[in-house]
C-alpha cells in the first residue's frame, strides 16, 4: 500500500458518500412521481410506453397481482433469451458466425441474466452473437435491475402505507426505473467509457498481423453500451470472457474507477431514498452506516491478506490474475465492491486471490449481498435482516416488535426466515452434492482445499445472484448449468416472493404511534445489533464450509504447502 | 390472457428501447466523438493493421521487449487468466521457471529481483503493459541482440522514460509502459541509426 492507494480509497469513499443524498433524492423524486429534471426530457417516452402496452399507470394492485405480474414478465424474459440463444446462428448481427448454444447453456444464461445474476458459463467473444448480447443481455441488464428496484418500492409502500392492500403498480415501477434512472445514466456512462477506449461498433472481428508476424483476431462489438448498464444495474455480465479485466472492456485506471463508482452509486443512493420514503432520514443513515462498516471491514481484511507475504511466494506482490494498469489495490477494491453489491463484474481473477481475500468475496455473497447490495435487491435483503433484528430485540425485552410503527408478527418473521434460508440451502446443499459427485469434481481447476472454494463460490454466486466466479471451474456442463441455474432461480424468487408477501401484509396494518417503549431503529445501538445479526446468521450457517475451504487453505499456504 | 398480452407488449417495447435504440444511440455518438477508440484503438503501419494499443501481443524474440506471461498466449479468443490458486503447485512451478528464464534470457545477475508481473500471468491474458522496471531490465539483452552502440542504448532508455504512463490524475492505477508501442519505437531507433 502506498500513499497513492490511500488517496484512491479515501476519494472513492468520499465521492460516493457525497453523492448518496444527491442520487438518493433524485431516485425519491422518480419513485414518488414528483418533479425532476428528466421528466420534461423523457416524460413522453413514459406515456408512450403505457399507451403501447395498454397500461393504466394509476391502477394499483395488491401484492399477489404485483407478484404475478413480475413473475410473468420475468418468465417471458427467460423464454425469449433462451430462444434467441438457440437460434442465433440463423439470426442477423452474428459476424463471427457463432453457432447456436447448447440447451443447457441457453437455459443457464437466460436464467442468469433475468435474475440479475449474470453468471457466465460461456466466453462472450466466442459464444454469443452481437444480437444476443444486445437484444438479450443488455435488455435484461436493464429490466432485471428495474425489477429489483420495483420489489424494493413495493416493500417501501407496504411499510409506509396503512390499512390498504395496494402496494403499487409493477408496470409503472418497472417503466419509471428504466426510463428515468437506468437509461439516462447508462447513456452517459457508456459514452464516457467509450472515450476511455471501450469499444462500441458492429464490425466483424479484426484479423491483424502482429509485430512478430503471427495472426491475432481482435473481437469487436457493441461493448460500451452493455458495460455501462452491467455496472449501473449491478448485473456484472461481461461482454468478453475476462469481464472488466479485458482491456477493451476496462482500458484505463479512470474507466476502472468510474466502473467501481457505478456499481455502488445506486445501491448507496437507495439507502437515502428509503429513509426519505419511510419518513426517517436517520433510519436511512443508520442502514448506510451499517453497510459502510461491513464494507470497510471486508475491504480492510482483504487488502491486508493480499499484501501479506507468504512462504510460497515470499514478498513477491501477488499479481497472478491481475492487470498491470490496475495493480493490487484497485483489484482488491473491485473484488470487494462487486461482491458486496451483487454485481459480479471482475477486474481480476478471483480464483487467484489469496485465500482470505477470496473468502471475503465469498462471505460478502453468503451474507446475502446486503452490503449496499444489488440495485433494490440489497436493500430489500437488508430489510429482511432488519425484521429479524427487530424481532430478536423484541424477544429480549419481551415486547411485540415494531418496525417503523408497524407490528412485526409471526407472518413477517416466517417469511423473513424463508428468504434467509432459501439461498443458504442452495449454497450448502448444491455445494455438498457437487463436492462428492464425479460430475461436480470434474469441473475443478485447482486441487486441494481451493477446489472446494471453487465449488462454494459457484453456488454462493448463483444463490446470491452475484455472477462473479472462481473462473477456473469449468461450469459449462449439464450438471453445473442446471444446478447453478436452479440455484439462481431460488436465490432470486425465493426472496422476492416472501418479501412481497411481507409488503402486502404490512400494508394492511395500522400504524402504532411512537412511544418511549418503542425500540429505536435509528441509532448506533441498532446499527450494532443489526451488524451482529447479519454476521451471526451468516457465520453460523457458513463457518463450517468456509473453514474447510479458504480457512484451511490459508493455514496450509502459511506452512508453505502446495497441491 | 389480457395480462399476458400486456406483459408481452411491454416486454417488446422495452426490448426495442434498451436493446436496439439505446445501443444504436451510444454507437452513433461514440463513432462520431471517438471513432478510433470505439473501433478498438487500432494501430496501422503502411495501411496494414498491426494490432491494438489496448491488446498485448506476445514477443518471444530477443530483439523485442517481452510481454507478461499469458494464460491464452495473447490469443483473444477467448480472453482469460490461469485461474490458479496460490496453493496450486503448478503456479509455484511456473513462477519459479519464469523467474529463472527471465534472468537467463536477459543475462541478469542471479539475485536480481524479477518484477512480479513478469512471473505472474495477467487476468485478461491480453495485458498490454509491464512496469518500467521490467522494461529497463530487458534493455541490455535487446541492445546486444540488435548490436546497439552506447548512443542507441541511451536513446532506448530515454524512450522507455517517455513512453512510461504515470498514474492517471496521480492517484489512479500504476506506472506502466505499453510493450507494443515500445517495440514499435525500437524499430524506429534501429532504422534511424542505420542511415
Question: DSSP assignment of A388-424, as one string?
Answer: HHHHHHHHHHTS--EETTEE--HHHHHHHHHHHHHHH
- With CA atoms as reference, report the closest residue to A507 among A202, A98, A74, A155: A155
Cα separation, A107 vs A551, whole angstroms: 34
Q: A524 CB near a chain B CB, below 8 Å?
A: no
Q: Flag whether pLDDT at B86 surpasses 60.
A: yes
Cross-chain CB nearest to B124 (options A77, A246, A563): A246
Of chain B residues 131-160, which have a CB less than 8 A from chain A?
131
Cα distance between residue A197 and residue B52, in whole Å? 11
Predicted local distance difference test score (pLDDT) of residue A372: 96
Nearest to A216 among B60, B75, B92 (CB): B75
Task: Record the cell numbers describing residue A268, joined without a space.
Answer: 448507496
Three-state secondary-structure class, residue A533: helix
Residue A216 is classified by DSSP as E
- In three-state secondary structure terms, A21 is helix
Q: Using a CB–CB cutoff of 8 Å, tell me whether B66 touches chain A.
A: no
The total number of residues written for chain A in this structure = 563
Band (A398; pLDDT cuts 50, 70, 90) = confident
Give residue B194's pLDDT band: very low, low, confident or very high (50, 70, 90): low
Cβ proximity of A329 and A5 under 8 Å: yes
Residue range A272-301, pLDDT digits in tens = 999 999 999 999 999 999 999 999 999 999
pLDDT in tens, B88-143: 999 999 999 999 999 999 999 999 999 999 999 999 999 999 999 999 999 999 99
Give B-chain residues touching A325 at CB under 8 angstroms.
Answer: 127, 129, 173-174, 176
A190 and B26 within 8 Å at the Cβ level: the answer is: yes
Residues 109-138, chain A: which have Cβ within 8 Å of B?
123-126, 134-136, 138
Within A119-251, where are the H helices? 124-127, 130-131, 139-160, 170-176, 183-196, 223-232
Per-residue pLDDT at B193 exceeds 70: no
Return d(Cα A544, Cα A459) in angstroms, integer.
16
- A311 CB-contact burial (10 Å; exposed 0-12 / middle 13-18 / buried 19+): exposed
State pLDDT tens for residues B31-53.
Answer: 999 999 999 999 998 889 999 99
Range of weakest confidence among A158-162, A273-277, A539-543, B13-17: A539-543
Q: Taking all residues of chain A, what is their mean pLDDT, rounded to a whole number? A: 95
Average pLDDT of the residues in A439-456? 94
Q: Is the pLDDT of residue A502 over 50?
A: yes
**Residue A344 DSSP one-character state:** -
Whether the predicted pLDDT of B195 surpasses 50: no
Residues of B in contact with A318 (CB under 8 A): 86, 116, 120
pLDDT score at B87: 96
Contact list in A for residue B80 (CB cut-off 8 A) is 123, 241-242, 349, 471
Between CA A401 and CA A275 the distance in angstroms is 20
Mean pLDDT of A197-217: 96
Please say whether the beta carbons of A444 and A454 come within 8 A. Answer: yes
The residue with cell 468456509 is A546
- Whole-angstrom distance, CA of residue A134 vs CA of residue B18: 8
**Residue in this structure with the C-alpha cell 474447510, named with its chain if needed:** A548
On whether the CB atoms of residues A119 and A488 are closer than 8 A, the answer is yes
Task: List chain B domain ranges.
Answer: 1-39, 41-194
A residues 40-79 closer than 8 Å to B (CB): 45, 49, 52-55, 68-69, 72-73, 76-77
Distance to chain B for A48, nearest Cα, Å: 10
Flag whether residue B85 sits within 8 Å of chain A, measured between CB atoms.
Answer: yes
Query: How confident is the model over A145-156, as pLDDT tens digits?
Result: 999 999 999 999
Cβ neighbours of A352 in B, within 8 Å = 81-86, 91
Question: Treating both helix axes as pointing N-terminal to C-terminal, what angle do A478-507 and A139-160 enclose, rounded to 10 degrees?
Answer: 30
The rounded distance, in Å, linking the Cα atoms of B169 and A488 is 40
Average pLDDT over residues A525-532: 96
Phi then psi for residue B176, to 5 deg, are -155, 165
Give chain B as a 3 state SS string. CHHHHHHHHHHHHHHHHHHHHHHHHHHHHHHHHCHHHHCCCEEEECCEEEEECCCCCCCCCCCCCCCCCCCCCCCCCCCCCCCCCCCCHHHHHHHHHHHHHHHHHCCCCCCCCCCHHHCCCCCCCCCCEECHHHHHCCHHHHHHHCCCCHHHHHHHHHHHHHHCECCECCCECCCEEEHHHHHHHHHHHHHHHHC
Q: How many Cα atoms within 13 Å fall on the side-chain side of residue A321?
A: 26
**What is the predicted pLDDT for the residue at A525?**
94
Do residues A389 and A529 touch, judged by C-beta distance below 8 A? yes
Peptide bond into B137 cis (omega under 30): no
A522 burial (CB, 10 Å; 0-12 / 13-18 / 19+) is middle
Q: According to the model, what pLDDT value does residue A383 have?
A: 97
Cite the beta strand spans of A202-286 per DSSP E. Answer: 206-209, 215-218
Polymer length in residues for chain B: 195
Mean pLDDT of A267-271: 97
A338-352, A388-402, A424-438, B105-119: least confident range: A388-402
Residue A534 has pLDDT above 90, yes or no: yes
What does DSSP assign to residue A100?
P
Q: Which of residues 331-360 of A touch B (CB under 8 A)?
A: 331, 346-349, 351-352, 354-355, 358
Query: ipTM score here?
Result: 0.96
- B11 contacts A80? CB cut-off 8 A: yes
For A551-561, write each residue's pLDDT tens digit.
999 999 999 99
Angle at A520 between CA A518 and CA A523, to 5 degrees: 165
Q: What is the DSSP string of A77-94?
A: HHHHHHHHHHTGGGSSS-
Amino acid at each position: 500500500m502506498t500513499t497513492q492507494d490511500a488517496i484512491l480509497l479515501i476519494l472513492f469513499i468520499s465521492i460516493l458518500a457525497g453523492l448518496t443524498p444527491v442520487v438518493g433524492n433524485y431516485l425519491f423524486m422518480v419513485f414518488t412521481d414528483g418533479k425532476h429534471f428528466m421528466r420534461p426530457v423523457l416524460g413522453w417516452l413514459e406515456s408512450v410506453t403505457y399507451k403501447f402496452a395498454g397500461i393504466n399507470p394509476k391502477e394499483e394492485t395488491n401484492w399477489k397481482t404485483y407478484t404475478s405480474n413480475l413473475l410473468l414478465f420475468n418468465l417471458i424474459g427467460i423464454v425469449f433469451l433462451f430462444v434467441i440463444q438457440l437460434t442465433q446462428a440463423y439470426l442477423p448481427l452474428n459476424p463471427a458466425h457463432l453457432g447456436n448454444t447448447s440447451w443447457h447453456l441457453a437455459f443457464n444464461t437466460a436464467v442468469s441474466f433475468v435474475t440479475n445474476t449474470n453468471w457466465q458459463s460461456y466466453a462472450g467473444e466466442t459464444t454469443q452473437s452481437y444480437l444476443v448480447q444486445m437484444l438479450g443481455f443488455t435488455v435484461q441488464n436493464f429490466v432485471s435491475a428495474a425489477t429489483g428496484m420495483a420489489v424494493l418500492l413495493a416493500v417501501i409502500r407496504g411499510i409506509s402505507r396503512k390499512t390498504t392492500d395496494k402496494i403499487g403498480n409493477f408496470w409503472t415501477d418497472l417503466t419509471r426505473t428504466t426510463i428515468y434512472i437506468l437509461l439516462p445514466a447508462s447513456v452517459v456512462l457508456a459514452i464516457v467509457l467509450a472515450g476511455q477506449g471501450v469499444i462500441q461498433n458492429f464490425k466483424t472481428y479484426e484479423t491483424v498481423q502482429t509485430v512478430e508476424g503471427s495472426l491475432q483476431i481482435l473481437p469487436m462489438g457493441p461493448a460500451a453500451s452493455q458495460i455501462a448498464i452491467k455496472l449501473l444495474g449491478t448485473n456484472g455480465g461481461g461482454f468478453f470472457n475476462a469481464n472488466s479485466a479485458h482491456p477493451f472492456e476496462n482500458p484505463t485506471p479512470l474507466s476502472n474507477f468510474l466502473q467501481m463508482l457505478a456499481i455502488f452509486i445506486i445501491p448507496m443512493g437507495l439507502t437515502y431514498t428509503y429513509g426519505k420514503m419511510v419518513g426517517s432520514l436517520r433510519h436511512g443513515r443508520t442502514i448506510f452506516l451499517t453497510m459502510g462498516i461491513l464494507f470497510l471491514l471486508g475491504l480492510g481484511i482483504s487488502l491486508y491478506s493480499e499484501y501479506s507475504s507468504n512462504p510460497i511466494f515470499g514478498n513477491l506482490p501477488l499479481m497472478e490474475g491481475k492487470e498491470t494498469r490496475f495493480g493490487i489495490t484497485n483489484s482488491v477494491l473491485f473484488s470487494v465492491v462487486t461482491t458486496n453489491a451483487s454485481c459480479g463484474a471482475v477486474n481480476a481473477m478471483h480464483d487467484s486471490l489469496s485465500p482470505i481475500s477470496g473468502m471475503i468475496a465469498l462471505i460478502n455473497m453468503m451474507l446475502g449481498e446486503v452490503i449496499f447490495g444489488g440495485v433494490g435487491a440489497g436493500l430489500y435483503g437488508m430489510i429482511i435482516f432488519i425484521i429479524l433484528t427487530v424481532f430478536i430485540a423484541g424477544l429480549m425485552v419481551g415486547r411485540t416488535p415494531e418496525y417503523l410503527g408497524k407490528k412485526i408478527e409471526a407472518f413477517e418473521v416466517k417469511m423473513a426466515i424463508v428468504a434467509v434460508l432459501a439461498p443458504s440451502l442452495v449454497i450448502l446443499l448444491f455445494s455438498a452434492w457437487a463436492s462428492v459427485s464425479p460430475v461436480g469434481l470434474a469441473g475443478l481447476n485447482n486441487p486441494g482445499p481451493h477446489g472446494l472454494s471453487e465449488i462454494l463460490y459457484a453456488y454462493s454466486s448463483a444463490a446470491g445472484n452475484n455472477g462473479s466466479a472462481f473462473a477456473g471451474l469449468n461450469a459449462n456442463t449439464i450438471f453445473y448449468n442446471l444446478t447453478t441455474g436452479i440455484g439462481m432461480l431460488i436465490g432470486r424468487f425465493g426472496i422476492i416472493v416472501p418479501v412481497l408477501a411481507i409488503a402486502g401484509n404490512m400494508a394492511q396494518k395500522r400504524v402504532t404511534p411512537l412511544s418511549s417503549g418503542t425500540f429505536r431503529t435509528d441509532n448506533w445501538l441498532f446499527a450494532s445489533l443489526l451488524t451482529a445479526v447479519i454476521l451471526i446468521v451468516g457465520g453460523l450457517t457458513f463457518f463450517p464450509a468456509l473453514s474447510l475451504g479458504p480457512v484451511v487453505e490459508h493455514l496450509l499456504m502459511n506452512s508453505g504447502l502446495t497441491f | 390472457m389480457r395480462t399476458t398480452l400486456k406483459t408481452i407488449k411491454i416486454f417488446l417495447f422495452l426490448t426495442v428501447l434498451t436493446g436496439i435504440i439505446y445501443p444504436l444511440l451510444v454507437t452513433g455518438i461514440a463513432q462520431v466523438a471517438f471513432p478510433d477508440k470505439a473501433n478498438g484503438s487500432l494501430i496501422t503501419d503502411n495501411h496494414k493493421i498491426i494490432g491494438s494499443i489496448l491488446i498485448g501481443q506476445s514477443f518471444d524474440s530477443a530483439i523485442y521487449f517481452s510481454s507478461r506471461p499469458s494464460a491464452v498466449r495473447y490469443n483473444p479468443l477467448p480472453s482469460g487468466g490461469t485461474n490458479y490458486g496460490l496453493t496450486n503447485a503448478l503456479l509455484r512451478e511456473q513462477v519459479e521457471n519464469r523467474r529463472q528464464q527471465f534472468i537467463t534470457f536477459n543475462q541478469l545477475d542471479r539475485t536480481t529481483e524479477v518484477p512480479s508481473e513478469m512471473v505472474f500471468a495477467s487476468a485478461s491474458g491480453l495485458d498490454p503493459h509491464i512496469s518500467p522496471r521490467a522494461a529497463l531490465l530487458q534493455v541490455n539483452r535487446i541492445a546486444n541482440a540488435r548490436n546497439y552502440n552506447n548512443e542507441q542504448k541511451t536513446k532506448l532508455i530515454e524512450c522507455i522514460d517517455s513512453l512510461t504512463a504515470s498514474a492517471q490524475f496521480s492517484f489512479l492505477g500504476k506506472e506502466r509502459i505499453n510493450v507494443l508501442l515500445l517495440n514499435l519505437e525500437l524499430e524506429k531507433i534501429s532504422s534511424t541509426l542505420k542511415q
